[in-house]
Amino acid sequence: MIVVTVKPLKAELIDFSVKEETAEMNLWFSDGADEHKLAINRRIENSEELAEQMIGEMRRLAKKQHTPDNDYDEILTVRFENEEDSVKKLQRFFERVKEKIREVKMMRSAKGYLDTLTRAKKFEVEF
């Protein structure tokens, strides 16, 4: 049996659209051997649901990377390190990204707009 343990490393906001309220983000994770990047571009409506989807997507990518080519005797198990904590941290990350988009959208003066925009685009969370 092959056991792969996935550990999230970092989530970062790359860019966002205020008009469409979508965010381009990278989620970095390790599968024990290598680091992988999951690039997503989504509208954040339900942060809890999106966090669950991203955990599943990371799991699928790790499974795809470690599935043996022709060895059907091996069973591949993908585990997530601290899954509940990871879901909560991802959920908080998505909520904060949504807040940052809303903050930029609500800016009514040019003063401080570029600083707010730059700070929002440099937002990241380490796990």
Say if CB 80 and CB 86 are below 8 A apart.
yes
Q: Is a pLDDT exceeding 60 seen at residue 113?
A: yes
Q: What is the pLDDT of residue 110?
A: 77
**Can you give the pLDDT at residue 69?**
67
Q: What's the CA gap between 9 and 47, in Å, rounded?
A: 19
Secondary structure class of 124 (helix, strand, coil): strand
pLDDT of residue 91: 95
Q: What is the rounded average pLDDT for all residues in the chain? A: 88
* pLDDT over 80 at 50, yes or no: yes
Average pLDDT over residues 66-89: 79
User: pLDDT-based confidence at 71, cuts 50/70/90?
Assistant: low
More confidently predicted of 111 and 106: 106
Q: What is the mean pLDDT of residues 24-45?
A: 92
Q: Is the pLDDT of residue 104 over 60?
A: yes
Helices (H) and strands (E) in the chain, counts: 3, 5
Global confidence as pTM: 0.85
Domain count of the chain?
Answer: 1
Give the domain extent around 106: 2-126
Question: How far apart, in Å, are the Cα atoms of 76 and each of 28, 37, 66?
Answer: 22, 21, 8
Q: How many CB atoms lie within 10 A of CB 101?
A: 21
